[in-house]
Structure 1
């Protein structure tokens, strides 16, 4: 079972479209926060707050190179969320299979 706080942070981070857009931009590779902020219709400080949420959720990591702050995706950042989704899918699939078997048995009578 996945720890609730890990899930809460991951799903809270993913709930915001700006944060999802930042994650999508990082799929192409590392980027400076300045470059990520440029196309967004908000202040640099606003983007920095979004980045802080992504960092707290373990979805990105920051590296300071000189005066520049670079971000990269953390490959294992969504592991906990994916594990929870897989557990739920397995549970509901088993329930659906049990229901189908019960209905088939009922029809056979």
Structure 2
């Protein structure tokens, strides 16, 4: 494959160009020009889509990190809330006991 013919395969001398014997042969037949244009356009679309996927993946990772931070905050707030509810219940119980104590005397 070459950059000018990305879908065509070929055989060539494996030696570097300086020492090459110059052997070069196409492995497959020539594609029609229209097919080459379509293939080139599809490859460009694939490349653009790959970039978009990578960008979205990075964004998704950032959103997941933010979500995890927010979950931690929610868990902390729930723990604080539960603690405050328990304190309120204890104070209500103390209040009721004091009220009963005052009523008795």
Alignment TM class, shorter chain as reference: 0.3 to 0.5
Higher strand share: 1
Higher helix share: 2
User: Whose relative contact order is higher, 1 or 2, with alpha carbons under 8 Å and at least 6 apart?
Assistant: 1
Task: Give the TM-score normalised by structure 1.
Answer: 0.36
